[in-house]
């Protein structure tokens, strides 16, 4: 008869508990919209509505959502087709706030002027997935994204044309939209197919 010491029995017991928990939890997970996304009808994503002053931001965020869906193997339609679901969105807010600034009069600027050295960019958008056949809203939510951007302060020699500094910063802010959009759309997809 084979003998087991106390350590061996304890180790086997732990192994059994781990297998039981993993197997039990793994098979109980379900996909919030599993039936919807397994449907071959596909999803149509129209260009987002944009109520902000940031012209063109709607294209950046719409494309980021389409890329995220395709990277997850979802069928994304190029146009509205009968039976396809519709995932529509809208950008409700884009705000840029100054987090930090140079001292006044920095780099030859007027004594009362200062340059931002860091700005915060926040974006808010809302999304909803609808079935156009019966106009049911299958899922909807609001999402917020945020990024901190260090702004350039090395072009202060042209102190009589501060607008050039503003344009450089604005260009960097617009470039940051792509990063914010990518991160937000991961959250969007995870929320739509949340495991519970």
Helix (H, G, I), strand (E, B) or coil at 80: coil
What pLDDT, on a 0 to 100 scale, did the predictor assign at position 157? 47
Q: What is the CB neighbour count within 10 angstroms for residue 180?
A: 21
Is residue 157 classed as helix, strand or coil in its secondary structure? coil
178 touches 62 (CB < 8 A): no
Domains recognised in the chain with CATH numbers: 6-191 (3.30.160.150)
Using alpha carbons, select from 154, 127, 159, 157 the residue that is nearest to residue 143.
127
pLDDT of residue 174: 92
Query: Does residue 177 carry a pLDDT above 90?
Result: yes
37-49 pLDDT, tens digit per residue, is 656 678 999 999 9
- 3-state SS, residue 4: coil
Q: Between the CA of residue 141 and those of 29, 138, 171, what are the distances in Å?
A: 22, 11, 30
Phi, psi dihedrals of residue 176, rounded to the nearest 5°: -70, -25
Under the banding of pLDDT at 50, 70 and 90, the label for residue 90 is very high
Specify whether the CB–CB gap between 130 and 83 falls below 8 A.
no
**31, pLDDT greater than 70:** no
- H helices within the chain, ranges in order? 6-28, 34-38, 57-71, 162-192
pTM (2 d.p.): 0.74
Predicted confidence band of residue 196 (pLDDT cuts 50, 70, 90) = very low
- Specify the pLDDT at position 42: 86
Tell me: pLDDT of 153 over 90: no
More confident residue, 112 or 64: 64
pLDDT band for position 135 (cuts 50, 70, 90): confident
CA distance 93 to 91: 6
Task: Please say if the pLDDT value at position 83 is more than 60.
Answer: yes
Question: Look-up: residue for tokens 């987002």?
Answer: 48
139 beta partners: 129
């Amino acid at each position: 008869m084979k003998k087991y010491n106390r350590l061996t029995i304890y180790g086997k017991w732990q192994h059994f508990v781990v297998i039981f928990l993993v197997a039990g939890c793994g098979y109980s997970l379900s996909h919030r919209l599993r039936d919807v996304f397994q449907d071959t009808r596909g999803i149509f994503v129209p260009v987002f509505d944009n109520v902000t002053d940031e012209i063109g931001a709607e294209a950046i965020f719409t494309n980021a959502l389409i890329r995220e869906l395709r990277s997850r193997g979802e069928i994304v339609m190029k146009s509205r087709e009968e039976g396809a679901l519709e995932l529509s969105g809208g950008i409700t807010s884009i705000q840029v706030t100054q987090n930090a600034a140079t001292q006044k009069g920095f780099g030859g600027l007027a004594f009362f002027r200062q340059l931002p050295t860091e700005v915060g960019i926040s974006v808010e958008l809302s999304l909803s997935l609808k079935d156009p056949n019966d106009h049911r809203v299958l899922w909807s939510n609001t999402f917020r994204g945020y990024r901190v951007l260090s702004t350039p302060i090395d072009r202060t020699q042209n102190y009589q044309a501060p607008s050039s500094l503003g344009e450089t910063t604005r260009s960097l802010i617009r470039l940051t939209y792509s990063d914010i959009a990518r991160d937000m759309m991961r959250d969007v997809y995870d929320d739509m197919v949340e495991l519970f």
